[in-house]
Structure 1
Amino acid sequence: MSDGQLSKGQRRREQVLSLLKRQGKITVQEMVDRFGCSEATARRDLELLERSGPVIRTIGGAMYDGMGGVRDVSFAERTGLSLAEKERIALKAASLIHEGDVAGLSGGTTNFLIAKLLKDRRGVTVVTNAVNIAMELAGSDIQVVVTGGIMRHNSFELCGPLGEGMIGQLHIGKMFIGVDGISPAGGISTYSEQEAQTAKAMIGRSQAAYAVFDHTKVERTSLFTIAALTELRGFITDERLPPSLAGIAAEAGIEVHIASESEE
């Protein structure tokens, strides 16, 4: 399609992408000032660019992901990845949740599997910022508390100040956090700044936080840190940890739960 055939919105988005490539980041306000569009239009442009190109949404703007790092994969794409391992991890995590517990579940495919295992439980409350997890538990005897916010379409997670304000009024017992990466230097991390902020808030309101992750996430660092490893009560994974992570766990008194095939 020639430049003359592009719509006004397409031309604006191409210009935004060109700016991102040159300067690395852009704010919504900068787009409003430069292109004379509304804030809503600027945010919609950034959402479309994130879906189609190497653009990462941040709070108040976006940045260019020219390094070819870990991409924000949709929930549907992640569902079939390492499924057997995730099922074992979910089973181990669910075994830590007992009657009377208030359990927090962030978004993610492994936590969705935990929710499926909890459907037949009684006397448990689940706090979640993930719409798909809340819907999975609908109709069960589980009491579900859903935080507010704006939904990210790739993960179905509700994020933003509205949800964080509500989280600040809650008391969560055991918090299970899905992550995109875990490493000694980066702690637990995720691709989305918005999800990282919400996860931080939920960890801050919990008595014990557990990172749930399969072996493909080990010694990887995603874009935004959620928490340092020492802020966690435990790790729930499918394989023995490498010495770097095992050493930190032992020194900090972090529980390590390994969901092995023999336990199935």
Structure 2
Amino acid sequence: MADALGSKGDRRREAVLQLLKQQGRITVSEMVERFGCSEATARRDLEQMELQYPVIRTIGGAMYDGMNGVRDLAFSEKEGMSFLEKEQIAAKAASLILEGDVIGLSGGTTNYLIAKLLKPRRGVTVVTNAVNIAMELAGSEIQVVVTGGIMRHNSFELCGPLGEGMVAHLNINKMFIGVDGISAAGGITTYSEQEAQIAKAMISRSSETYAVFDQSKVGRSSLFSISSLDGLYAVITDRSLPEGLSSELDQHGITVYIAEAASI
């Protein structure tokens, strides 16, 4: 009976994968209607598929990411992906920030969530090249330093020589870098050459660099390198890492923080 059920589940997930390839997206409610399964089963299917295929879970469904090597999604698209995991990662990152810290925040949805958590805090300075993060902190008691540059509309990040030149005069305690990919061989990477350059500049002025990422970024290498793994102080993610990546991080003495779900 277990084999029969397993085969049925495999066939359903294969059908879902084909739909994702055709449509690009699917919702949980669409899966329930098409396949006559429960919402819980649909969500478990998507969770399992995310581990096996180029599938990224979003709020209420999933999207196909078979062309992940060349995609540069807008912030609004990224915002809904793996949202609960990103909230957990952001909470862990915020817990490492102390009064008196000068922290750096690159762009990205996880760093945006870190900024939201910092709003009630005092005695912290934030250096950021992301316009949306600076605006989120406006009106708070956080001191905000915004780099210059030309804004990329996909990410709201300021990039270019103007910002890199300003960063060269700053000293950052803890730098939190959002990434599009992380792997043992490729280190941390991004889709944008301009974002890679400003990230490198901020890392070079930081005492500790933390890469923040959910599991959809693990094992992937985007086109432009930000840093090799040995340039990191720590990583913050939502699940245990594959053995190869975990061993490489351990070899370089890099701390791995696994964010935990908030208790209800």
What's the TM-score once normalised by structure 1's chain length? 0.73
Q: Which stretch shows the higher mean deviation, 69-78 or 191-200?
A: 69-78
Residues 101-137 of structure 1: CA distance to partner in whole angstroms, max 9, x if unpaired? 0000000000000000000000000000000000000
Q: Distance in 1 between matches of 2:252 and 2:263?
A: 26
Q: Give runs of aligned pairs for residues 1-264 of structure 1, distance below 5 A.
A: 69-261=69-261
The CA deviation at 1:248 is 1.1
Secondary structure of the structure 2 residue equivalent to 1:151? strand
Secondary structure of the structure 1 residue equivalent to 2:113? helix
Q: Distance in 2 between matches of 1:104 and 1:225?
A: 19
The CA deviation at 1:159 is 0.2
Q: Distance in 1 between matches of 2:176 and 2:126?
A: 11
Q: Distance in 2 between matches of 1:190 and 1:117?
A: 25
Residues 196-255 of structure 1: CA distance to partner in whole angstroms, max 9, x if unpaired? 000000000000000000000000000100000000000000000100111011111101
Q: What is the RMSD of the two structures over their aligned residues, measured on CA atoms?
A: 1.2
1:4 equivalent in structure 2: none
Conserved 8 A contact 2:210-2:233: yes
Distance 1:263 1:207, change over 3 A: farther
Secondary structure of the structure 1 residue equivalent to 2:72? coil
Q: Which amino acid is the alignment partner of residue 167 of structure 1?
A: V
The CA deviation at 1:263 is 5.8
2:61 equivalent in structure 1: none
Distance 1:247 1:71, change over 3 A: same
Structure 1: gaps of 5 or more residues: 1-66
Conserved 8 A contact 2:88-2:262: no
Q: Distance in 1 between matches of 2:262 and 2:119?
A: 24
Residues 20-54 of structure 1: CA distance to partner in whole angstroms, max 9, x if unpaired? xxxxxxxxxxxxxxxxxxxxxxxxxxxxxxxxxxx
Distance 1:166 1:70, change over 3 A: same
Runs of 4+ in 1 over 6 A off after TM superposition: none
1:57 equivalent in structure 2: none
Q: Which amino acid is the alignment partner of residue 243 of structure 2?
A: P
Q: Distance in 1 between matches of 2:133 and 2:263?
A: 25
Distance 1:251 1:68, change over 3 A: closer
1:7 equivalent in structure 2: none
What's the TM-score once normalised by structure 2's chain length? 0.73
Q: Distance in 2 between matches of 1:263 and 1:100?
A: 29
The CA deviation at 1:68 is 7.1
Q: Which amino acid is the alignment partner of residue 238 of structure 2?
A: D
Structure 2: gaps of 5 or more residues: 1-66
Identity %: 71
Q: Distance in 1 between matches of 2:132 and 2:219?
A: 28
Q: Distance in 2 between matches of 1:69 and 1:128?
A: 26
Aligned residues: 198
Q: Distance in 1 between matches of 2:68 and 2:81?
A: 20
Distance 1:148 1:82, change over 3 A: same
Q: Distance in 2 between matches of 1:109 and 1:213?
A: 10
